[in-house]
Amino acid sequence: MTQAINDFPTDQHGWAELLPARDKPAPLAGNVRVQWVVVGAGLTGLACARRLGELHPEHEILILDARLVGQGASGRNSGFTVGVSHFPGAFNAKNKANYARVNRINQTGVALLDQQIKAQAIDCQWDNRGFHHGAADSQSINESAHFLGYLDAMEINHIALDQDAMQQRFGTALYKTGVHVKAGGLVQPAALVRGLADSLPRNVKLIEQCPVLKITHGKPITLATAQGEIATDKLILATNFEAGKLGFLSRRLIGSTLSGSFTRRLTATELSSLGEHKEWGIISLHSGGATIRLTADGRICLRNTAEYFGGALLTPEKLQQRQIIHRASFEKRFPQLTHVPFEFSWSGVEGISRNGTNFFGEQSKNIFLAGGYNGSGVSRGSAFGYALAEYASGGQSELINDCLASAPALWIPPRPILDIGAALTVGMRFRGVGLDR
């Protein structure tokens, strides 16, 4: 499949706006022959390239990204590093082994990130004390009971919270109940991705703003770019929902576009109205509910829209319209801060499958792929990338087995049925959301 450079649009909205401008990257110089190429410098690709560099110190490894590092999906999420996944509905004992498998992957990803952040001294507001789940309306309150039953049955460390406890911690009376899950963490995602990219092993070379336009199967595999041609023995695709642009998973994985906003930095007086915790995150127990952060640098970050937009970022006009929804959600939660303006808004795309599965393994001879994290890509993508490097190198491990055990993905119909079905699927997230939005 042949692509054009403008098939990979981007903007500088989001967490990257809170960081210094990134230096102009060095271009790819002509035709290159290497042993390994990783396409995609998000969390999966960076974890994979780092592990390949460690496993094969004698090999030259290229990692390519169509954009600047931190401008893709890995730098546009809300920064929740999931250690324990939420499986909606009542606990099903028949699924206990699968729940445990997914959480092992999540927690491996958390541990890998914790290790790298500390070893490389990455300044990314890392907080590994877990985060909270909240419920404000009837549907999510019912789900809270299911979630607590699941946590108890799986013997997962947590604390159940009532409305008073939630208000004391976060300065909002909206949530009627909540849960603090201690596995997992919070991070500034763009800073994390940049830090990981800037601390790769010496035999790993990063090329930014270098989209792959065509892949030719063979021995070697060849990749065409606007800057030259790359020949490689083994190819890793870590492009998540954009795998379809390169001819893979086009009927298995789509992109859902989310959006959110940041406030300006709050004053000391404003921060004092937000409860006793000075840095926190809340994920709604309703699938369409808002995701809220109080960041380490004193901003409130709120994300509460998701829609099918063809896997693209929102236009400036649409983003401004979505900010009205963000604003209503913010003022509903924090009436004491209605005077505080938003400073930035952003959109980002998550890869989702019809049945919520992930993708891992060899797609064709010497071409390997991982992706499709359905909103848990910070931790799970890091674990999948690490495991894929070992798997492509002929390794075996419990982590590899856990990744390989992902359920097969359901088929997604072509357009125009795709557009209708995807819009309905994403829209179903908001049924009954009520106060949680």
Shared domain for 264 and 342, answered yes or no, is yes
Higher pLDDT, 110 or 227: 110
Evaluate whether residue 330 is within a structural domain. yes
Evaluate whether residue 337 is within a structural domain. yes
Shared domain for 242 and 330, answered yes or no, is no
pLDDT in tens, 169-208: 999 999 999 999 999 999 999 999 999 999 999 999 999 9
Shared domain for 175 and 273, answered yes or no, is yes
Shared domain for 197 and 338, answered yes or no, is no
Evaluate whether residue 421 is within a structural domain. no
| The pLDDT value given to residue 13 | 83
In this predicted structure, the answer to whether residue 414 has a pLDDT above a threshold of 80 is no
pLDDT in tens, 115-152: 999 999 999 999 999 999 999 999 999 999 999 999 99
| Domain of 172, in residue numbers | 131-182+256-352+426-436
Helices (H) and strands (E) in the chain, counts: 10, 18
| The pLDDT value given to residue 137 | 96
Evaluate whether residue 104 is within a structural domain. no
pLDDT in tens, 265-289: 999 999 999 999 999 999 999 999 9
Evaluate whether residue 94 is within a structural domain. no
Shared domain for 381 and 286, answered yes or no, is no
- Which string of DSSP letters, residue by residue, matches 130-152? -EEEEE-SHHHHHHHHHHHHHHH
Shared domain for 223 and 330, answered yes or no, is no
Shared domain for 242 and 368, answered yes or no, is yes
> Domain holding 10: CATH number?
3.50.50.60
In this predicted structure, the answer to whether residue 427 has a pLDDT above a threshold of 60 is yes
Percent of the chain exceeding pLDDT 90 equals: 81
What is this structure's pTM? Answer: 0.95
| The pLDDT value given to residue 259 | 96
Shared domain for 199 and 248, answered yes or no, is yes
Evaluate whether residue 89 is within a structural domain. no
Evaluate whether residue 13 is within a structural domain. yes
Provide the number of structural domains found in the chain: 2
> Domain holding 138: CATH number?
3.30.9.10
Evaluate whether residue 224 is within a structural domain. yes
Shared domain for 30 and 171, answered yes or no, is no
Shared domain for 201 and 273, answered yes or no, is no
Tell me how far apart the alpha carbons of residues 301 and 378 are, in angstroms, rounded to a whole number: 17
Shared domain for 328 and 366, answered yes or no, is no
Shared domain for 203 and 344, answered yes or no, is no
Per-residue HEC secondary structure of 46-86 comes to: HHHHHHHHHHCCCCCEEEECCCCCCCCHHHCCCCEEECCCC
- For the packed helices 96-119 and 377-392, what is the interaxial angle rounded to 10 degrees? 90
| The pLDDT value given to residue 6 | 63
